[in-house]
């Protein structure tokens, strides 16, 4: 979960830059505007959904899947001496 907290801002900033870069496609006019608008809308919506899934659902699923598992026990204090 600490990694999710650390990666939240870079993920959101990258996604926001990409989504804002696609806005001209969404607002296209002129020749071929219908094709550009439909492609831009799909990319815009897909990126919003992907960002939402990456920032909310992936950490949530990780917590739900690892909730019942016990943490691995630490090695006994003298284990390094016996191995070496």
Name the pTM for this structure.
0.68
Joined tokens for residue 20 = 């804002």
Mention every residue, 6+ apart, whose C-beta is less than 8 A from residue 12: 51, 55
pLDDT by position in tens, the chain (length 84): 677 788 888 889 999 999 999 999 999 998 999 999 999 999 999 999 999 998 888 888 888 988 877 666 666 666 655 665
What is the C-alpha to C-alpha distance for residues 36 and 22, in angstroms, rounded to an integer? 10
């Amino acid at each position: 979960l600490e990694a999710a907290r650390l990666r939240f801002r870079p993920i959101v900033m990258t996604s926001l830059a990409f989504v804002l870069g696609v806005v001209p496609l969404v607002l296209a006019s002129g020749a071929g505007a219908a094709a550009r608008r439909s492609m831009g809308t799909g990319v815009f919506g897909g990126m919003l959904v992907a960002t939402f899934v990456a920032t909310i659902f992936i950490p949530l699923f990780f917590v739900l899947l690892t909730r019942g598992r016990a943490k691995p026990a630490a090695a006994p204090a003298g284990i390094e001496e016996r191995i070496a």
